[in-house]
Amino acid sequence: MADIFINLKRTFKSGNILAKLIYINAGIFILVKLLSILLTLFNLGGAPFLVYLQMPSSPLLLLYRPWTIITYMFTHYDFLHILFNMLWLYWFGGLFLNFFNEKQLGGIYILGGIAGGLLFLLSYNLFPFFQAVSGSSYLMGASASVMAVVFAVSFYRKDLEIQLFLFGRIKLIYLALFTFAIDFLSIISSNAGGHIAHIGGALFGIWFAARIKKGKDLTAPMNRVIDWFVNLGKRKPKMRVTYKRTETDYEYNARKHRREADIDAILDKLKRSGYDSLSADEKKKLFDASKK
């Protein structure tokens, strides 16, 4: 079991941003399901904690839970929901990386999700149709972020074609526009919030593609914020110089005492028999001592 977690950790660190996004979504999904099962076993409700991960439609509630505008886009509860979102992210995220870099993919994922969340919030508090549920609705899932990626690629390379089962080759932009039409026609359905968020993410993707063609990267500010958070916990190592003595105080004093005793013996010999009686080693020791 430990080896599995070690391999997962190694794969996460070595993977690109696309793999990391999928890993994060899958990891949170598993944690949510496990915690939900545990709470259910103790009759504590299925997943009451989800309200702290989902983005609320109430501006006041969002004010108290501002982090949810980020956490909602990584949170799923139904298996099919996360499955289709991750498949779309895998396919179109790979296409995105053919034309843009990893930081831009991470940036558009976050900003597309924020755009979808803001349009959801605005719509539920602006249109009278949503008045009855405007204070009790929540948004969850990576769909808005994925739509931002899909539409960014589609509108950046309008000539790009993909192979669809039963339909053959089709321009990617036609698929994007078809999904946009489906979402627009579904904004009064039971999942109105999700479809509105899709539209918000799609609009940001279109905006990103239009600006990048003019040399303006809309993800650059967000990427600087992400880099700041990533490097927040990393401290630059400070150079420390330490001096390590090769001998203890006792050893040093003993060696010093022996040296002084040797010099005293040489001086006594010098007085008795003269300089010529000293050996070459004794002469060297006497010379070295005279320099200190």
Each domain of the chain, given as residue ranges in start order, spans 2-232, 249-290
Return the pLDDT at 245: 55
Phi, psi (degrees; rounded to nearest 5) at 101: -95, 175
Chain center to CA of 149: 18
For 231, residues 6+ apart whose C-beta sits below 8 A from its C-beta are none
Rg (CA), the chain: 35
pLDDT, residue 285, reads 75
Contacts 24+ apart (CB under 8 A), 181-185: none
Which pLDDT score is estimated for 212? 95
Q: Are the CB atoms for 117 and 73 separated by under 8 Å?
A: yes
Mean pLDDT of each 10-residue bin along the chain, 292 residues long: 64 84 96 94 86 96 97 96 96 95 96 98 96 93 97 94 82 94 95 96 97 94 87 65 58 70 75 73 73 62
Of 205, 209, 208, 182, which is closest to residue 194 (Cα–Cα)?
182
Q: What is the pLDDT of residue 291?
A: 63
**What SS3 string covers the chain?**
CHHHHHHHHHHHHHCCHHHHHHHHHHHHHHHHHHHHHHHHHCCCCCCHHHHHCCEECCHHHHHHCCCHHHHHHHCCCCHHHHHHHHHHHHHHHHHHCCCCCHHHHHHHHHHHHHHHHHHHHHHHHHCHHHHHHCCCCEECCCHHHHHHHHHHHHHHCCCCEEEECCCEEEEHHHHHHHHHHHHHHCCCCCCHHHHHHHHHHHHHHHHHHHHHCCCCCCCHHHHHHHHHHHHHCCCCCCCCCCCCCCCCHHHHHHHHHHHHHHHHHHHHHHHHHCHHHCCHHHHHHHHHHHCC
| Token code pair at residue 40 | 């259910």
> Which fold, 2-232?
Rhomboid-like fold (1.20.1540)
Query: Angle 17-41/79-96 helices, nearest 10 degrees?
Result: 170
Give residue 238's pLDDT.
59
Give the model's pLDDT for residue 251. 65
Model pTM score: 0.77
